[in-house]
């Protein structure tokens, strides 16, 4: 998954919300931050194994792979800032 710096910040914020167990905030951050690209990002995260799908969209879980992505995003964003 490749993202620009701005989208990376949005994605990191959304993944942090999901790591804290807040699926609603995850969805809101993606939608507000990425707009029309929200669904594409959500599907890429799901198909890439970064989030696990459940019956309820707000009951998503961050996988170990997703936690690794969140760590990498944090490191990359510190280098850019």
21: left (phi over 0), alpha (psi -120 to 50) or beta: left
- CATH number of the domain encompassing residue 41: 1.10.10
Structure-token match 């994605």, residue found: 11
pTM, to two decimals: 0.84
Whole-number pLDDT of residue 59: 78
Whole-number pLDDT of residue 45: 93
Tens digit of pLDDT for each residue in 1-57? 577 888 889 999 999 999 999 989 999 999 999 999 999 998 999 999 999 976 666
Domain with 68 in it: 5-80
Average pLDDT over residues 62-77: 87
Question: How many domains does the chain divide into?
Answer: 1
């Amino acid at each position: 998954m490749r993202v620009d710096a701005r989208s990376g910040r949005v994605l990191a914020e959304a993944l942090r919300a999901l790591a804290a167990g807040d699926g609603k905030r995850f969805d809101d951050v993606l939608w507000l931050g990425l707009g029309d690209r929200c669904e594409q990002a959500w599907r890429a995260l799901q198909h890439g194994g970064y989030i696990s799908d459940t019956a309820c969209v707000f009951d998503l879980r961050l996988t170990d792979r997703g936690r690794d992505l969140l760590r990498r995003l944090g490191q990359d964003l510190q280098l850019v800032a």
